[in-house]
Amino acid sequence: MRARAARREETQSGDSFDTVASWPPQATRVLTTSERQAYDLLRIALPAHMVLAQVPLQRFIKVPTRNSYAEWLRRAGHLSADLLVCDRHSQVVAVVEVQAADEVLSERAQKRRQRLARVLKAAQIPVHVWSATALPTIDAAREAIAPTPPVEDVSPAATPASLRSLPGRPATMSPTSLANQPVPEEPVEIREPPPSTWFDDLDSAPAPLAPEPSKAGKDRAAR
């Protein structure tokens, strides 16, 4: 009872503080020097991807609400990924964590890092841990996160007649010029990020079966 009264008194005294006057805000950097270098490396290696920095888990991971969502936020939701790699539809591709080789973590910090790794592994999100003093090359980063599929050899003889007969297009095309032609995009299902995890989007209740037709109805259908 005494501890509960002390917490209530602390909350009430905290509410009396002014948000700005009591905690004067000051802008600071989002990324460390090594994180910024890793960010620039990813931007060059993956120009068709989105690279986001310091994104909390609650922004790109959805969890069921069987248990308290507020408790999940307290445990893991506010943990942030150093760098988040997404495709052009903002779908998560990988997480990059930048760690200093000589970094000494407290016990609480180690538990937070382990909890972050467990959540990402359970969500089947690839995690790449980079050393701040030995960042990978651009080619190595590209191959590790989003390798480029091999380009098939296209000869002029294999070019379809429909392409060779188009107006304004040469009768024969070299593989280089053919590869430079715009390719129509295939329809891609764009997944919107979940606005909230308080509600379930799908109704899992059993669907009612259609009533079975009566004998008189079957006789009329047979006629």
d(CA 80, CA 35): 13
pLDDT of 10 strictly over 90? no
As a whole number of angstroms, the distance between CA 123 and CA 111 comes to 18
What pLDDT was estimated at residue 11? 55
Q: What is the pLDDT of residue 190?
A: 54
- Region 19-29: what's the mean pLDDT? 91
Q: Distance between CA 143 and CA 43 in Å, rounded?
A: 14
What's the mean pLDDT in 200-217? Answer: 47
The two tokens of residue 104 are 């000494």
Q: Summarize pLDDT for 58-85 with one digit per residue, the tens.
A: 999 999 988 999 999 999 999 999 999 9
Does residue 189 surpass a pLDDT of 90?
A: no
Domains annotated for the chain, with CATH where assigned, are 28-144 (3.40.1350)
Per-residue pLDDT at 207: 42
Give the pLDDT score at 101.
78
Taking residue 133's Cβ as centre, other Cβ atoms within 10 Å add up to 10
Q: What's the confidence (pLDDT) of residue 217?
A: 57
In angstroms, the CA 90 to CA 153 distance is 31
Percent of the chain past pLDDT 90, that is, above it, reads 48
